[in-house]
């Protein structure tokens, strides 16, 4: 595509060569370890570089895909055309704003953020410590576990649009609901989030983090590549219980399988393709529906092979 060739040339004039990769396998950048090549992948190191990338792509009429830690993405086997911007190292840093508020840049892991809060005697993010991925991805999905969700603590979030301009969304304007946020209907990049937390004792907060970590290790297939929980929680019951009740633990298609350890996870046993995962997901959905009348909705985000624009 002529526009992509021109954009690549423009980016090469303003960014170091190591920040631009052509036909880079997405399997190297997703927790599923699945995905073909991205036509062009760039790795901005700071706000200024990201703004330049977005400005040039905006002027070229090319809408980029934004990829953080890739922990909730199923990328297609044939790869994707267009531009992929990897932001996991773009926005880094944690700050204590006052006695109960912290600021977390979008590239920080949820584990780092939870531990920073603990070191400052602040409680409210213990549940997030074991959730893979970054603050940006967590806010985008309103990530949650063990009864907690990021919406419970997120006061406001800075968002950068595809033209490089930024604005803050505060309180309810962040649009949080179960595994959803206003950012899913917006085009751009989450920059940072401010959290309101509760004073506590570091020792007790760390103990709670440890308890949840042990619970995860005992119940989840952390040793195999996956994208975490494959399905959203239905209105009635729990996805894992419905899948197990339908007798689907261990069910496999190619290299993809329903985890024997936790039925809510589809895992990559080795060599799984996106086609394997998609076929297994649809098979599970059909059999659960046949068994219980509940149609499960995927939580994993499915990328298409076509240009983002």
CA distances from 138 to 55, 157, 178 (A): 25, 12, 12
Identify the active-site residue in 24, 49, 149, 299: 299
Is 136 in contact with 68 (CB distance < 8 Å)?
yes
Active site (annotated) includes residue 3? no
Rounded CA separation 136/71 (Å) = 12
Cβ atoms of 87 and 67 within 8 Å: the answer is yes
Known catalytic residue at 299: yes
Main-chain phi, psi angles of 191, to 5 degrees: -100, -50
The Cα 235–Cα 178 span in angstroms is 11
Among 31, 181, 226, 229, the one annotated catalytic:
229
Query: Which DSSP letter does residue 185 get?
Result: G
Spatial separation of the C-alpha atoms in residues 242 and 227, rounded to whole Å: 19
Q: Distance (Å, rounded) from C-alpha 184 to C-alpha 72?
A: 13
CA 15 to centroid of chain Cα atoms: 26
**Among 149, 179, 226, 285, which one carries the catalytic annotation?**
179
Say if residues 169 and 156 touch (Cβ distance below 8 Å): yes
**Residue 229 annotated to the active site:** yes
Q: Which residues are catalytic?
A: 179, 229, 299
């Amino acid at each position: 595509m002529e526009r992509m060739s021109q954009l690549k040339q423009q980016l090469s004039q303003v960014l170091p060569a190591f920040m631009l990769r052509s036909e880079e396998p997405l399997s190297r950048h997703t927790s599923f370890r699945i995905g073909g090549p991205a036509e062009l992948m760039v790795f901005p190191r700071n706000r200024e570089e990201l703004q330049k990338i977005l400005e040039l792509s905006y002027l070229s009429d090319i809408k980029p895909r934004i990829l953080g830690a890739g922990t909730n993405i199923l990328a297609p086997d044939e790869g994707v055309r267009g531009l992929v911007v990897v932001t996991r190292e773009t926005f880094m840093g944690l700050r204590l704003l006052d006695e109960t508020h912290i600021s977390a840049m979008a590239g920080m892991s949820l584990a780092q953020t939870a531990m920073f809060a603990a070191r400052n005697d602040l409680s409210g993010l213990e549940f997030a410590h074991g959730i893979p991925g970054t603050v940006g991805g967590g806010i985008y999905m309103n990530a949650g576990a063990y009864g907690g969700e990021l919406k419970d603590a997120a006061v406001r979030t800075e968002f950068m649009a595809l033209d490089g301009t930024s604005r803050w969304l505060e309180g309810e304007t962040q649009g949080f609901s179960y595994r959803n946020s206003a950012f899913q209907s917006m085009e751009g990049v989450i920059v940072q989030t401010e959290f309101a937390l509760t004073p506590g004792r570091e020792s007790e907060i760390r103990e709670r983090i440890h308890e949840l970590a042990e619970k995860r290790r005992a119940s989840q297939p952390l040793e195999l590549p996956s994208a975490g929980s494959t399905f959203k929680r239905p209105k009635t019951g729990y996805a894992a219980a419905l899948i197990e009740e339908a007798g689907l633990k261990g069910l496999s298609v190619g290299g993809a399988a329903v985890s024997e350890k936790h039925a809510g996870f589809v895992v990559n046993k080795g060599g799984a393709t996106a086609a394997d995962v998609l076929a297994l997901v649809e098979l599970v959905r059909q059999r659960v529906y046949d068994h219980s009348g509940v149609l499960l909705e995927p939580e994993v985000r499915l990328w298409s092979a076509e240009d983002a624009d």
